[in-house]
């Protein structure tokens, strides 16, 4: 088994960091083969105090680092990388609760020397908190169990998701670590690894549970950062489309997703104008609105089909969520358009944290071995 350094960047995570450290200490992996590195990025609550208690409890396997200047998650990860000793670097956000076998399942993929990174499955720990978290849990189930799994099977571009991710340390050092200017450092790292000829695999068996935003304000803040980050990476690596291989082309198509959303919003607005202002549309106008409608209906159909497949238990009744998927798609078009405006106006770029509350709702869907770590002090 390879040695593994588990890096956890934290900032004001007093409500969730304890359960993560409980889970990491109880991983089914040889203790001498793993280490836990917690990086405090300027917490002002009890996060440091809680982490310090765990260090006192098990100083041989947990280290607590204090980053001198708070400058976002990518910088915290680079700071931890300087102190890591493992052959594999694992990253978990503070609100995660990984399964006991997550390392065992992930490291199997590194037996292939061409594999530089592995992305595990991220599940919702608060799916039943409200309608929004339930919907996001379905969205994530489709994203991991259908979209990313399908890309992995077809040997297309599989990207890291920022948590429950695993990368070879020597490869991270080769590419210079995480880009501290990137708003979506996980996606940017994924593209750089692919550009270097490395593969990223999806490990559906390596599972971790995390909290999803329960309020629209937090969701919008998170998604604006994601959209803007991916848009900027798409511009930076636009040359990928010139490479004659399907992984590069798929990567650029993936990054162009937010641009397609703004394209669809423009089509919606043009259609709305025809309803409010009686004009005779020309051929170009008609074709544009038809294309945007097609770009909406096809993904909705595919998402609906994937929703039936990915959610458990599988049932056709899940198709009743399709109207909400359409509403959510419309919201995403506004979010992507706002991110594009930020880029065009050259607004300041800042890595923003999504605040967590520590909510746990869907207990019955969480394996017993993980539930035992949720409330232990």
Contact (CB, 8 A) for 179 and 71: no
Q: What is the pLDDT of residues 208-218, one digit of tens each?
A: 999 999 999 99
Q: Terminal CA-to-CA distance of the chain, rounded, Å?
A: 30
User: Using alpha carbons only, what angle is made at residue 249 by residues 300 and 138, rounded to the nearest 5 degrees?
Assistant: 30
Directed axis angle between helix 322-344 and helix 283-310, to 10°?
A: 120
Q: What is the pLDDT of residues 266-319, one digit of tens each?
A: 777 776 776 677 666 667 766 766 777 776 677 777 766 766 666 666 666 666
Contact (CB, 8 A) for 172 and 185: no
Domain ranges of the chain: 4-213+357-371
The CATH number corresponding to 4-213+357-371 among 3.90.550.10, 3.40.640.10, 3.10.20.90, 3.40.1210.10 equals 3.90.550.10
Q: What is the pLDDT of residues 27-43, one digit of tens each?
A: 999 999 999 999 999 89
User: Using alpha carbons only, what angle is made at residue 55 by residues 54 and 59, rounded to the nearest 5 degrees?
Assistant: 130
Q: Alpha-carbon torsion 260, 261, 267, 273, what sign?
A: negative
Instruction: Tell me which DSSP letter residue 15 carries.
Output: T
Mean pLDDT of the chain: 87
Instruction: Tell me which DSSP letter residue 277 carries.
Output: S
Question: How high is the pLDDT of residue 70?
Answer: 83
Percent of the chain with pLDDT strictly greater than 90:
59
**CA torsion, ordered 279, 281, 286, 289, to nearest 10 deg:** -30
Write down how long the chain is.
377
């Amino acid at each position: 088994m390879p040695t593994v350094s588990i890096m956890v960047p934290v900032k004001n995570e007093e409500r969730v960091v304890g359960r993560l450290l409980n889970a990491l200490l109880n991983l089914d992996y040889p203790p001498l083969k793993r280490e836990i590195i917690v990086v405090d990025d300027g917490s002002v609550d009890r996060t440091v105090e809680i982490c310090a208690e765990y260090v006192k409890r098990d100083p041989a396997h947990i280290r607590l680092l204090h980053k001198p200047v708070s400058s976002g998650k990518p910088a915290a990860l680079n700071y931890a990388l300087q102190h890591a000793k493992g052959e594999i670097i694992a990253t978990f956000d503070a609100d995660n609760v990984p399964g006991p076998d997550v390392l065992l399942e992930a490291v199997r993929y590194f037996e292939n020397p061409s594999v530089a990174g592995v992305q595990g499955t991220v599940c919702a720990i608060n799916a039943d908190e409200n309608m929004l978290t339930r919907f996001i849990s379905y969205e994530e189930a489709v994203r991991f169990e259908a979209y990313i799994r399908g890309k992995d099977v077809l040997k297309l571009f599989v990207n890291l998701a920022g948590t429950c991710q695993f990368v070879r340390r020597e490869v991270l050092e080769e590419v210079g670590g995480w880009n501290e200017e990137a708003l979506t450092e996980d996606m940017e790292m994924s593209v750089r690894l692919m550009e270097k000829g490395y593969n990223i695999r999806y490990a559906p068996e390596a599972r971790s549970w995390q909290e999803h935003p329960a309020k629209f304000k937090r969701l919008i803040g998170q998604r604006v950062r994601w959209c803007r980050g991916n848009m900027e990476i798409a511009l930076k690596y636009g040359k990928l489309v010139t490479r004659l291989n399907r992984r590069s082309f798929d990567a650029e198509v993936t990054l162009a997703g937010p641009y397609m959303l703004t394209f669809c919003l423009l089509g919606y607005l043009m259609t709305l104008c025809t309803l409010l202002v009686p004009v005779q549309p020309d051929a170009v106008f008609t074709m544009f609105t038809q294309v945007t409608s097609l770009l909406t209906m096809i993904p909705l159909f595919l998402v609906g089909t994937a929703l039936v497949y990915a959610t458990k238990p599988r049932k056709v009744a899940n198709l009743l969520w399709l109207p909400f998927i359409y509403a959510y798609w419309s919201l995403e078009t506004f979010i992507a358009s706002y991110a594009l405006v930020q880029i065009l106006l050259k607004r300041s770029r800042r890595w923003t944290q999504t605040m967590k509350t520590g909510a746990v709702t869907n207990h019955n869907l969480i394996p017993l071995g993980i539930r035992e770590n949720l409330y232990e002090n």
